[in-house]
Amino acid sequence: MKIITEEMCFRQRLCEYAIKHGITRAARRYYTNKWFVYWQLKKYDGTVRSLVLKSRRPHSNSKDHKKEELDLIQGMLKRNGVYGLVKVYVKCRAKGYKRSFTR
């Protein structure tokens, strides 16, 4: 992140004030709670960049289809799509697909 946002500057001021005057006083002055101040101080290393918000998006999902499963489903759907999804599912199960139909 190249831009230093207003929130990052706020967090830096909060951390510097907490180091100088204490956690409780900083929390009262900046209208926040003590755990937030502790959390910011834990991340703070003296630079604004250390206070950047990080993504909370999951980078993987254990329930995602694997590439082999997707290839199998797409191939069966292309060849047997006119018969309906249940028929495609039954044929996929015969070829080694292990997942449940109801999920």
Q: How far is CA 66 from CA 60, 73, 97, 99, in A?
A: 12, 11, 11, 11
User: Residue 96: is it exposed, middle or buried by C-beta count within 10 angstroms (0-12/13-18/19+)?
Assistant: exposed
What are the tens digits of pLDDT across the range 78-88? 999 899 999 99
36 inside domain = yes
56 inside domain = no
Full domain range(s) for residue 46: 6-51
CB 86 within 8 A of CB 76: no
1 inside domain = no
Q: What was the pLDDT predicted at 61?
A: 87
Q: What was the pLDDT predicted at 15?
A: 97
- Please state, in angstroms and rounded to a whole number, the distance separating the CA atoms of residues 74 and 86: 14
Q: What was the pLDDT predicted at 101?
A: 78
Same domain, residue pair 75 and 41:
no
The stretches in the chain having pLDDT less than 50 are: 1
59 inside domain = no
Angle (deg, nearest 10), helices 85-94 and 67-80: 130
